[in-house]
Amino acid sequence: MPTPSFAGVLPTPSTFERSDSSTKTRGNGDAIVELRNVTKSFGQQEVLRGVTFIAKRNETTVIVGGSGAGKTTLLRLIVGLDRPTSGEILIEGEDITKMRESQLNRIRKKFGMVYQYAALLDSITVAENIAFPLVEHTKLSRHAIRDRVFEKLTQLGLDPAVVANKFPAELSGGMRKRVGLARALMLDPPIVIYDEPTSGLDPTTSRLVDDLIEHTRQRFGVTSIVISHDIASCFRIAHQAILLVDGRIETSGAPETWLEGPSNVAKEFIRNSGVDVRAVERIVVARETP
Ligand X SMILES: Nc1ncnc2c1ncn2[C@@H]1O[C@H](COP(=O)(O)OP(=O)(O)OP(=O)(O)O)[C@@H](O)[C@H]1O
CB of 42 to ligand X, least distance (A): 3
Residue 228 binds Mg ion, judged by CB under 5 A: no
DSSP 280: P
Positions 34 through 93 that interact with Mg ion (CB under 5 A) = 71-72
Residue 5 binds Mg ion, judged by CB under 5 A: no
Q: Which is nearer to ligand X, 4 or 203 (CB)?
A: 4
Q: Which stretch in 3-11, 36-44, 167-175, 264-272 sits in contact with Mg ion by CB under 5 A?
A: 3-11
Residue 263 binds Mg ion, judged by CB under 5 A: no
CA distance 272 to 275: 8
276: left (phi over 0), alpha (psi -120 to 50) or beta: beta
Say if CB 118 and CB 179 are below 8 A apart: yes
DSSP 282: P
Residue 3 binds Mg ion, judged by CB under 5 A: yes
Length of the chain: 290
Residue 207 main-chain phi, psi, to 5 deg: -65, -40
Q: Which is nearer to ligand X, 75 or 238 (CB)?
A: 75
CA distance 125 to 113: 19
Say which entry of Mg ion, ligand X, none residue 67 contacts (CB below 5 to 8 A, set by partner kind): ligand X
CB of 201 to ligand X, least distance (A): 16
Find, among 247, 225, 262, the residue nearest to 113 by Cα.
Answer: 225
CA distance 207 to 201: 9
Residue 4 binds ligand X, judged by CB under 6 A: yes
CA distance 69 to 267: 17
CB of 98 to ligand X, least distance (A): 20
CB of 72 to Mg ion, least distance (A): 3
Residue choice 22, 28, 52, 67 for contact with ligand X (CB under 6 A): 67
Residue 5 binds ligand X, judged by CB under 6 A: no
- Interaction site with ligand X (CB under 6 A): 3-4, 42, 47, 65, 67-73
- Interaction site with Mg ion (CB under 5 A): 3, 71-72
